[in-house]
Amino acid sequence: MVTASVPSHQGMQAGTGTGVNFLPGPILLLGAPGVGKGTQAKALRAHWGIPQISTGDLLRDNVVRGTELGRAAKLVMDSGELVSDSIVNAMVANRLGEADVRQGYILDGFPRTLNQADWLDEQLATESALAGLEVHAEQFRAGSTLPVVAVAMQVPYTLLLRRITGRRTCPACKRIYNIYFQPPAYDLVCDIDGTPLTQRADDVEEVFAERLRAYEELTAPVVEHYRSLGRFAEVDGDQTVDRVTSDILATVQRLRG
Ligand code: AMP
């Protein structure tokens, strides 16, 4: 567990870390479903002003828009299994081609298999080799060519279960509630706009069990992969949101040190 701390992210200037041109670079948030990766990725995005790249969100966006990719992914997602590496890698490759990743980015929910991790490692190695050759002179000092740092979050199983099965979302404003920890004021409608809340199809208990099984079998080895490469740390996810954010900020700064 990480014990070092920095002041809360709230009220701090976006784009700063230690305060002097800190380049966050690529950051991986690892951990089981329900550990808080999405929440923390948003907090880091607000703090550093770098994008959150959530493969789950990108896939759900394709499902909502009814794209071919979305139609192919939906059944797999609803069953709690993983979408194929080739689909997900291509989606991430596209996203990493956008200009806003130059200072760094937070990968949330990717990589989830060793194949995805190998693919990412190769992409990043190619990018920094090109930067080293100064082929891409402008990118040379860019955060996107820094080696990846990986932060794995941990939370006890019973808490994961309640975080996932209790999660409800407002389809209108996207605000997230939890019927156990953060319920809406009235019944199951949004406090802000009164819209009935919905539950993600893959957040029901049976599907959660499959997601956790997929995590143990396919994603836990990814955590070990990054542990063995160094620039890796674990953070206790069973604390207040702000406290976890502070721990992650301190961890990334230390790993970049
Ligand atoms: P998440 O919102 O990260 O929990 O992802 C929801 C679902 O999207 C997962 O249960 C998978 O079916 C799919 N998914 C998200 N990210 C990946 C990934 N990196 N590889 C394969 N499937 C993914």
Q: What is the pLDDT of residues 166-176, one digit of tens each?
A: 999 999 999 99
Report pLDDT for 26.
Answer: 94
Taking residues 16-43, report their average pLDDT.
Answer: 85
Confidence bin at 43 (pLDDT 50/70/90):
very high
What mean pLDDT is reported for the chain?
88
Tell how far the Cα of 216 is from the centroid of ligand 1, in angstroms: 14
pLDDT surpasses 50 at 97: yes
Q: Which atom of ligand 1 is nearest to the CA of 110?
A: 19
Using the mean position of ligand 1's atoms as its centre, give its distance from the Cα of residue 125 in Å: 24
DSSP secondary structure of the chain: --------STTPPTT-SSSSS---EEEEEE--TTSSHHHHHHHHHHHH---EEEHHHHHHHHHHHT-HHHHHHHHHHHHT-PPPHHHHHHHHHHHHTSGGGTTEEEEES---SHHHHHHHHHHHHHHHHHHHTTTTGGGTT-GGGSPPEEEEEE--HHHHHHHHHTEEE-TTT--EEETTTB--SSTTB-TTT-PBPB--GGGSHHHHHHHHHHIIIIIHHHHHHHHHHSSEEEEE-SS-HHHHHHHHHHHHHHHH-
Q: Whose CA is nearest to atom 11 of ligand 1?
A: 82
pLDDT for 9 beyond 50? no
pLDDT-wise least confident of 15-19, 48-52, 97-101: 15-19
Q: What percent of the chain has a predicted confidence (pLDDT) above 70?
A: 86
Predicted pLDDT of residue 8: 38
**What was the pLDDT predicted at 13?**
38
> Is the shortest distance between the CB of 77 and ligand 1 below 6 Å?
yes
- Residues marked active site are found at 37, 112, 167, 200, 211
140 pLDDT band (50/70/90 cuts)? very low
CA of 111 relative to ligand 1 center, distance in Å: 10
pLDDT at 133 over 70: no
For 222-249, what is the mean pLDDT?
96
